[in-house]
Structure 1
Amino acid sequence: MSQSFSQNQARRNRQQKLWPQKWSLKTKAIVWALSISVLPVFAIGIATYFYGINLSSKQIPQVRLERTKSSTETEALQRQLSLLLTGMGVTAILAGAIAVFVTNRTISRVSNIAATSNHIKNRLRPDSEFTQTFIAHEDELVMLERNISLFTELLSVLVQEKEAEADYSQLLTKITRWVRESFNQEDVLKTTSEEIRKALNIDRVAIFCFNSNCNGTFIAESVAPGLPKILGVTVSEPGFEAGYIEKYRDGCTRGIDDIYQADLSDDDIELLQQFAVKSNLVAPIFKGKQLFGLLIGHQCSRQRFWQQSEIDLFAQIAMQVEFALDYAKLLEQVDTKADKAQLFIEITRSIRESLNEEDVLKTTVEEVRKLLSTDRVLVYSFNANWSGTVIAESVIPGYPKVLRSEIQDPCFGQDYVEKYQSGRVAITNNIYQAGLTDCHISLLESFSVKANLVAPILKDEQLFGLLIAHQCSRPRDWQQPEIDLFAQIAMQVGFALDHARLLQRIEAEGVQSQLLADTIGSIRQSLNEEDVLKTTVEEVRKVLSTDRVMVYSFNANWSGTVIAESVVLTYPKVLRAEIEDPCFGQGYVEEYQSGRVLAINNIYEVGLADCHINLLESFGVKANLVAPILKGEQLFGLLVAHQCSRPRDWKQSEIDLFAQIAMQVGFALDHARLLQRIEAEAMRSQLLVDITRNIRQSLKEEDILKTTVEEVRKALSTDRVLVYSFYANWFGIIIAESVVPGYPKVLRSKIHDSCFTQGYIEKYQSGRVVAINNIYESGLADCHIKLLESFAVKANLVAPIIKDEQLFGLLIAHECSGPRNWQQPEIDLFTQIAMQVGFTLDHARLLQAYQANST
Structure 2
Amino acid sequence: MIPRTKTVQQPELNQKDLLRRITNRIRQSLELQEILDATVAEVRSLLVTDRVMVYRFDESGSGQVIAESIQRDRLPSLNGLHFPADDIPEKARQLYLKVRLRSIVDVSSGLIGLSPIAGAGTDDLSTVDEIFYRPVDPCHIAYLKAMGVNSSMVLPILHYDVQAKHNREQLWGLLVSHHASSRITNKRELQTLQSVVDQVSIAIAQSNLLSQARQQHTREATINRVSTLLHSLPTIELQAALEETVNALQGSGGRLYIAPRQTHDTAKWLTCGIQPEQCGRDNLIEEHPTFTTWVASESDIRDSDSDEPTTPNSHSLFPLPVRRARQLSLSKFSRGAEALSPHDSSKPVTVTDLYLVPALAALTPVFQSTPIRGWLVLPLCYRSSFLGYLSIFRSQMDKEILWAGCFNSNENQKFPRQSFEQWRELKRNQAQPWTANDIELASSLGHHFAMAIEQYKLYSQVNALNNNLEFQIAERTAKLRQSLDQGRALQRVTNHIRSTLELRTTLQTIVREVRNLLDTDRVLIYQFTNESCGQIIVESIEGNWSSLLESGAPPDFFSQRQIQFYKRGKVGVIRDISRANLTLTQREFSQGCQIQAALIAPIGVGNHQEDKALEIPEEQPLWGLLIAQECKALRYWLPYEIKLLQKLADQAAVAIQQAELYERSRTVAAIAQAHAQKLAIAAEQQKALFGVITKIRESLDVETIFKATTTEVRRLLDADRVAVLRFISDSSRDCGEFVSEDVQPGFASVLTAKIHDHCFSHQHASQYYQGPIVAVADIYQAGFKECYVQQLAEFQVQAQLLVPLLKGGRGTGSPSQLWGLLCIHQCRQSRQWESSEIEFVKQIAVHLGVALQQAELFGQTQQQAEQLAIAFDNLKQTQAQLIQTEKMSSLGQLVAGVAHEINNPVNFIYGNLSHTSQYAKDLFDLLHLYQHYYDDPVPAIVERSQLIDLNFLEEDLPKILKSMQIGADRIRQLVLSLRNFSRLDQAEKKLVDIHEGLESTLLILQHRLKAKPNCPSIQVVKNYDNLPKIECYTSQLNQVFMNVLSNAIDALETYNTNPTFQEINKSPSTITISTHFNHSSIRDKKKLGSSQPANNPLLSPYYVLIQIADNGSGMTPDLQAQIFDPFFTTKPIGKGTGLGLSISYQIIVEKHGGVFECISYPGKGTEFLIEIPTEQSQRE
TM-score range, shorter chain: 0.3 to 0.5
TM-score, with structure 2 as normaliser: 0.27
Which protein shows a greater Rg?
Answer: 2
TM-score, with structure 1 as normaliser: 0.37
Higher RCO (Cα < 8 Å, 6 or more apart): 1
